[in-house]
Amino acid sequence: MFLTAFGAVGAAARPLRLHVVVRAFGSASAVISNSRYVFAEADDAAEAAEPGYVGTLVDEKTGRRTRVVRPGCANFQAGPIDGPWLTFDCSAGSYGPAPELYSLAGGQWQAVTPNPHLEGFCSTTRCVPSDAGGAWMQYLVSNCPGGEHCSFSYEFQSLNGGELRSDPTADHTIADLNSRSLARPLCAPLRVPRAWYTFTGFGLGSLTMDGKFAIAQGTNANGTPTAYLERCGSSLHELLVKGPYANAAPPLAWNSGEVLWQSATYQLSGVFLPSLRRFKLDLPQHAVSPGCMPPDFRSCIEQMALTNRTLYLLSADGQLWTAISPHQPIATKKRARR
């Protein structure tokens, strides 16, 4: 696998053009990652062939691949892996959540007893464990009166004592699953963006920190998804990508060195960090779902994930592809410092 560069890299206003070579990983239904680990969730066919198989965990530091097997368990995580665990609901269809955590480093399972107040709360709503850090576990709560018009919220349970707390997210605060206090104040001038929700109106979107940079995801007044790049101590508010219409947020992935999103049928757009240099990444045709229907790029590449080394692309037809994570060429880095 390799990357090749095209174009005049000295032209500051012109995005660097890169070409990527991809390799097949296999089939998957979802993919999530942090800087070191990636988890490819098993699709229905793989689960049927091997009952209890929930997915494959890759440790990119050691190169080790582990098939994760746990009968009756399902993974509901979305977005980056926030802590030392993979989070599963092992209720197997029974009443109430049954959280179990899988250690990324050691491969051990740890059951978590739901807070008793959560059990009562979940009698009228659906609660599933959806993420866990070093200090807190997150539940995704969906309330769907009559089976439709759903609204969503989060509850948090301490992994040290079981205390239950509501979502602390506010204009200048986000939830941090690795902090004992749970609430993390944002550095100035960052602010959690607003978002329009079909059945509940305007509320808060999301803001994810990576070092001094942040990805702020919300919507405009029409409900069209937007993603902006922002930075602590800076007026930076750079539009990265905007969905074509409501509830159609294009897939987005980032690490400490770059942010990526799909911008054309066979092309990703990106920005290198911290230089803010824009680039284009050309994709081979076979890495994109044949049912791709722009401008809704979720029908092309459904999900993306980035580790420090590898870019993962999950096409809408369930095929997972890998490539070397793009890195800014040394010559361009030197120019960017001037």
Encode pLDDT of 21-58 as tens digits.
999 999 999 999 999 999 999 999 999 899 999 999 99
Q: What was the pLDDT predicted at 247?
A: 75
**Cα–Cα–Cα angle for 213, 242, 36, nearest 5°?**
40
Across the range 197-214, mean pLDDT stands at 88
CB 131 within 8 A of CB 138: yes
**Confidence check: pLDDT of 333 > 90:** no
**Cα–Cα–Cα angle for 188, 189, 193, nearest 5°?**
120
Domain of 114 in residue numbering reads as 3-337
Question: Full-prediction pTM beyond 0.85?
Answer: yes
Encode pLDDT of 78-120 as tens digits.
878 999 999 999 988 677 789 999 999 999 999 999 998 887 6
Shortest CA distance to 216 belongs to which of 232, 202, 198, 201? 232
Domain count within the chain: 1
**Confidence check: pLDDT of 332 > 70:** no
Instruction: Give the CATH number of the domain where residue 187 resides.
Output: 2.120.10
Predicted confidence band at 123 (pLDDT cuts at 50, 70, 90)? low
Q: What was the pLDDT predicted at 198?
A: 74
Q: What was the pLDDT predicted at 250?
A: 84
Predicted confidence band at 272 (pLDDT cuts at 50, 70, 90)? very high
Q: What was the pLDDT predicted at 13?
A: 59
Q: Which has the higher per-residue pLDDT, 198 or 25?
A: 25
